[in-house]
């Protein structure tokens, strides 16, 4: 029987995004790995953006996702450990910094602050807290974009092998 006009078929991107959001909410990093390890990096980036949009009102889950992206959470057992990147990401988001716009979690348990002006406008206690855990190196938006592109190229090369 046909789909009809009221039930449009979901795209692969929509199906994977819905699954990824559910896995984030359930704190299931292995299932996320299964999604992201089998898609091209450019497709994964689209999924990331849709996850971020869907989780805007769920700071706890969005912060957890930041920890996952930064390799802080690699397996379900890691959910029971402290997560400084998740915690700091949640703090940055709650103070108006936007994920993938103003800061980006990267594998290797790193945070890149892409908007130094916005970071410096945060209350001093928040800046101090971030500086306590990380070395903050201000980068221009061009430098941040170069870092982003280099990591994307590396991910694409890994996916091709």
Q: Which helix (H) or strand (E) holds 66?
A: helix 59-69
Backbone φ and ψ of 103, nearest 5°? -155, 155
C-alpha 29: how far from chain center: 13
Q: Which pTM does this prediction carry?
A: 0.79
- For the segment 50-70, what is each residue's pLDDT rounded down to a tens digit? 999 999 999 999 999 999 998
Distance of CA 100 to the CA centre of its chain: 7
Q: What is the pLDDT of residues 27-49, one digit of tens each?
A: 999 999 999 999 998 899 899 99
Name the residue ranges covered by the structural domains of the chain. 13-159
The 10s digit of each residue's pLDDT in 84-141 is: 889 999 999 999 999 988 888 888 888 888 888 899 999 999 888 888 877 666 666 6
Closest CA to 99 of 110, 109, 112, 117: 112
Q: Which residues pair with 103 in a beta bridge?
A: 99, 113
Backbone angles phi, psi at 111, to 5 degrees: -120, 135
**DSSP code, position 99:** B
């Amino acid at each position: 029987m046909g789909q009809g006009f009221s039930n449009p078929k979901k795209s692969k991107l929509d199906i994977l995004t819905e699954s990824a959001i559910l896995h984030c909410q359930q704190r299931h990093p292995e299932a996320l790995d299964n999604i992201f390890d089998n898609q091209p990096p450019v497709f994964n980036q689209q999924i990331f953006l849709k996850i971020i949009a869907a989780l805007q009102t769920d700071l706890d889950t969005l912060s957890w996702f930041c920890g996952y992206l930064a390799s802080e959470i690699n397996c379900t057992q890691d959910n029971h450990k402290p997560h400084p990147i998740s915690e700091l990401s949640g703090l940055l988001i709650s103070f108006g910094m936007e994920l993938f716009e103003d800061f980006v979690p990267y594998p290797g348990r790193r945070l890149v602050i892409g908007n130094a002006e916005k970071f410096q406008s945060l209350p001093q206690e928040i800046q101090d807290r971030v500086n306590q855990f990380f070395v903050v190196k201000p980068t221009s938006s061009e430098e941040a974009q170069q870092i982003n592109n280099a990591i994307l190229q590396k991910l694409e090369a890994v996916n091709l092998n």
